[in-house]
């Protein structure tokens, strides 16, 4: 794993970061093979009772997960599991296969420790992912599946589009995330509006509530929503008993960047840290019992702990993983153990939402 420091300059030398990403996926496929996975497990696992908790009915050995979008096609879940994550999220997946937006569609902002992407839900479709996951050897940590809308599907038919994917993938996910907040599919963020969102949530929860095994349905929201829009989302979460919320997706804001860029797309990484934490804090204040997965700008244990104290029970990394490499999960988990010990908490669940609530 320490080889990352040596190979990072090579990976970052590619003009198109997507080339480096695909190369990293090839390494992770190898890491998932039995002898390599055993070695990776030995190097990366942090097994500590203080980090274990149950959230929306699932058991997590630690709170650090990988956000949707890294392993869109569910190809390297075994390799990622070996890196010490507490849970993984694959996708975003759509009903129909689609190529996404033209390349180049990923841009590093090294000065800001940020990434802009406009991938556009490139994936092979729900049926292909279902077939791949049906042949996957057992994963010992929770697997989430992020669901999106096919680009060619009109907004009025969005709910049925999401339902198709949920029905086909239901046997293979431990939880499902309704992604209505990516900025890279035209009109998708309109689905965060009350009318569309109610229809989607109602249809998906109706399906989940009427099968033998109910699985958690979560909602992933944008960091750019107004207070009024967040309140509408939370009203729907309350009325339909949504199982949890993921806060947040990427931002369209370019405020405060050192890098000069005109590239369109969603911005992730360090520039998103404060904004996503603010949204988490507000949601927790309004609905303290609603489980939150906090995402946005997590590079260190302190970053993760900030989101946990703001109200997140779990956290996800993405850009930090790309910049810091495979040992970041161990570093965050070890750091969290020390921070919990410093503050007198026996379990991470005790630290959730302990920060004084600030107004948004």
Q: Which residues are catalytic?
A: 182
Compute the C-alpha angle 96/101/106, nearest 5°: 125
Structure tokens at 258: 């050192």
DSSP readout, 17-58? Answer: HHHHHHHHHHHHHHHTSHHHHHHHHHHH----GGG-EEETTE
Distance CA 150, CA 130 (A): 16
Kindly report each contact of residues 118-121 with a partner whose C-beta sits within 8 Å and lies 24 or more positions away, as own/partner.
Answer: 118/183, 118/184, 118/263, 118/264, 118/265, 118/266, 119/69, 119/72, 119/184, 120/151, 120/184, 120/185, 121/92, 121/93, 121/94, 121/148, 121/149, 121/150, 121/151, 121/182, 121/184, 121/185
Distance CA 48, CA 39 (A): 19
Distance CA 205, CA 38 (A): 38
User: Contact at 8 Å (CB) between 309 and 357?
Assistant: no
Can you tell me which residue has the tokens 């049906």?
134
- Looking at the DSSP bridge assignments, the partners of residue 109 are 114
Give the phi and the psi of residue 46 in degrees, each rounded to 5: -120, 105
Distance CA 110, CA 207 (A): 43
User: Contact at 8 Å (CB) between 137 and 81?
Assistant: no
Structure tokens at 172: 């293979």
């Amino acid at each position: 794993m320490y080889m990352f420091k040596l190979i990072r300059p090579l990976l970052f030398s590619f003009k198109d970061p997507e080339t480096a990403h695909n190369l990293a996926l090839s390494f992770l496929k190898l890491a998932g093979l039995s002898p390599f996975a055993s070695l990776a497990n030995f190097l990366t696992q942090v097994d500590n009772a203080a980090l274990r908790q149950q959230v929306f009915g699932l058991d997590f050995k630690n709170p650090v997960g990988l956000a949707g979008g890294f392993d869109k096609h569910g190809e390297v879940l075994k390799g990622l599991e070996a890196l010490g994550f507490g849970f993984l999220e694959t996708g975003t997946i759509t009903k129909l296969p689609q190529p996404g937006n033209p390349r180049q569609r990923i841009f590093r902002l090294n000065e800001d420790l940020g990434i802009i992407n406009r991938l556009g839900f490139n994936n092979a479709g729900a049926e292909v992912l279902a077939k791949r996951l049906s042949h996957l050897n057992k994963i010992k940590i929770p697997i989430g599946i992020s669901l999106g809308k096919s680009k060619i599907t009109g907004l009025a038919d969005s709910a049925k589009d999401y339902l198709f994917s949920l029905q086909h993938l239901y046997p293979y996910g431990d939880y499902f995330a309704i992604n209505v907040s990516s900025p890279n599919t035209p009109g998708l963020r309109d689905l965060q509006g009350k009318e569309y969102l109610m229809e989607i949530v109602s249809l998906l929860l109706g399906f989940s509530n009427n099968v033998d095994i109910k699985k958690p349905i979560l909602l992933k929201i944008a960091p750019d929503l107004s207070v009024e829009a967040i309140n509408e989302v939370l009203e729907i979460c309350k009325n339909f008993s949504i199982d949890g919320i993921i806060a947040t997706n990427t931002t369209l804001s370019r405020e405060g960047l050192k890098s000069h860029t005109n590239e369109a797309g969603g911005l992730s990484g360090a520039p998103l840290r404060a904004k996503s934490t603010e949204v988490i804090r507000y949601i927790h204040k309004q609905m303290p019992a609603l489980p939150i997965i906090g995402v946005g700008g997590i590079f260190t244990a302190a970053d993760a702990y900030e989101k946990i104290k703001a109200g997140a029970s779990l956290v996800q990394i993405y850009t930090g993983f790309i910049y810091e490499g495979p040992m970041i999960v161990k570093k965050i988990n070890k750091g969290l153990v020390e921070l919990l010990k410093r503050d007198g908490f026996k379990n991470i669940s005790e630290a959730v939402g302990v920060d004084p609530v600030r107004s948004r």
